[in-house]
Structure 1
């Protein structure tokens, strides 16, 4: 074999070796990336599955409340049909939602009001709110005699929020009044305080409203109270 043929053969063999090495490296890279992609898929499926469980569990329930409650549908944790809430809603304003509540025909209603009642411009916001709460319970019972009614406590706010609005200091008093009202009216009552024991980073930037994590924790707590 002359020198030119040897050189040509050497170059050809070198090219084959390099090609095989490149293919091997590409396969190794693909196998390294693949598990990450699969893990991401499982995480997404788990999240969607959890939301579906919430929606099934609370399928026959309606959450009646203010902007705190509205976060359930805003963050897509529950369907809008299960949430009857809005910013600035007080127990008095919620009386206007009775007809809509009746149309939805829920088996259970969770009432989460108070964050705005505390700020209502009246001489005695607490008494004023409890009177309207009692009216609300009575009207719901009148229209939906078989419905289960459960009152939820007013959620706490951050220290920074209290500095800006000192009236939030009355939240504990308001919650005690709610508990007493629930006993007098013989309706359900759930204290949401346990949700906040292990986590303080669920608050939105205003220190009053919440990130999606809060709503998942709240529903985990409430699912045991679904009738």
Structure 2
């Protein structure tokens, strides 16, 4: 009888322990399930955000590469087009007057000598010989490109610069009344040249004064400010390499409808 009671009690204890264990497992399972649900939601959100960020970044990179490719294609097309142009023929009835920057047109054999009247270091108050030469040539179009040396000569005095440039325009109008005049802006210089000649910090003021003079006289002003990039400059930060000149000629020809 005692053995049966002991066996029965042991059986109840085992059942009770089993119920407790199952309860614990169920509770842990529910808790884990709940925790897992929250973690999964957050994880999915993070993953989606990461995927979205990666896709956006990739799309931006692809877009930039496509833009770069298109820019390069246009540059190549323009370069090929420039190579095929006969600038000596296009500017046969034109003359470019200027300083050493303009003189490079003949040094690089891009234009005929009859289309360029230029001299190294020349200033606006030293142009008697150049004016006499251009009068004899009597071109249909004159492109003027002065100012780089005059910024130093006038030491930042834009009024004196405008006075001298205005006198040149007046003289050309009198001697060549049927010739159309175009005035090039002064090209920017690199920082190293500004450090060497601080007066070049006023270069933009000179160009603005020159633009106002052209507006007053109703003469076409050719803005070259954005035409150049660092790769075109010689080591001195002022003069240009040969491959720059076709771009400048294209710009002048476009404005003058040559």
Match of 2:168, SS? helix
Aligned 1:76-95 pairs, distance under 5 A: 76-95=109-128
Q: Which residue of 2 aligns with 1:167?
A: 199
Query: What is the Cα deviation at residue 80 of structure 1?
Result: 1.1
Among 118, 131, 137, the residue aligned to 1:98: 131
Aligned 1:54-203 pairs, distance under 5 A: 54-120=87-153, 122=154, 125-196=157-228, 199-203=229-233
Q: Which runs of 5+ in 1 are unaligned?
A: 1-44
Segments ≥4 residues shifted beyond 6 Å: 45-48
Q: Which residue of 2 aligns with 1:213?
A: 243
Say if 1:47 and 1:186 are closer, same or farther in 2 by CA, change over 3 A: closer
Any conservation in 1 of the 2:156–2:202 contact (CA below 8 Å)?
no
TM-score, structure 1 as length reference: 0.74
TM-score, structure 2 as length reference: 0.65
Query: What is the Cα deviation at residue 167 of structure 1?
Result: 1.0
| Structure with greater proportional helix content | 2
Name which one, 1 or 2, has greater alpha-carbon Rg.
2
Counterpart-to-counterpart distance in 2, 1:47 and 1:221? 11
Number of residue-to-residue matches in the alignment: 178
Match of 1:214, SS? helix
Query: What is the Cα deviation at residue 141 of structure 1?
Result: 0.8
Say if 1:123 and 1:195 are closer, same or farther in 2 by CA, change over 3 A: closer
Counterpart-to-counterpart distance in 1, 2:209 and 2:234? 27
Asked which structure has the greater RCO (Cα within 8 Å, sep 6+), the reply is: 1
Counterpart-to-counterpart distance in 1, 2:129 and 2:157? 19
Counterpart-to-counterpart distance in 2, 1:139 and 1:93? 13
Q: Which residue of 2 aligns with 1:223?
A: 253
Query: What is the Cα deviation at residue 226 of structure 1?
Result: 2.6
Counterpart-to-counterpart distance in 1, 2:182 and 2:101? 16
Counterpart-to-counterpart distance in 2, 1:221 and 1:54? 12
Cα shift readout 1:21-51 (whole Å, capped 9, x = no counterpart): xxxxxxxxxxxxxxxxxxxxxxxx988743x
Q: Which residue of 1 aligns with 2:16?
A: none
Q: Which residue of 1 aligns with 2:13?
A: none
Counterpart-to-counterpart distance in 2, 1:191 and 1:48? 23
Query: What is the Cα deviation at residue 93 of structure 1?
Result: 1.2
Query: What is the Cα deviation at residue 105 of structure 1?
Result: 1.1
Counterpart-to-counterpart distance in 1, 2:195 and 2:150? 18
Cα shift readout 1:44-81 (whole Å, capped 9, x = no counterpart): x988743xx21111111101111111111111111111
Say if 1:123 and 1:217 are closer, same or farther in 2 by CA, change over 3 A: closer
Match of 1:193, SS? coil
Counterpart-to-counterpart distance in 2, 1:184 and 1:134? 10
Match of 1:135, SS? helix
Query: What is the Cα deviation at residue 125 of structure 1?
Result: 3.3
Any conservation in 1 of the 2:145–2:186 contact (CA below 8 Å)?
yes
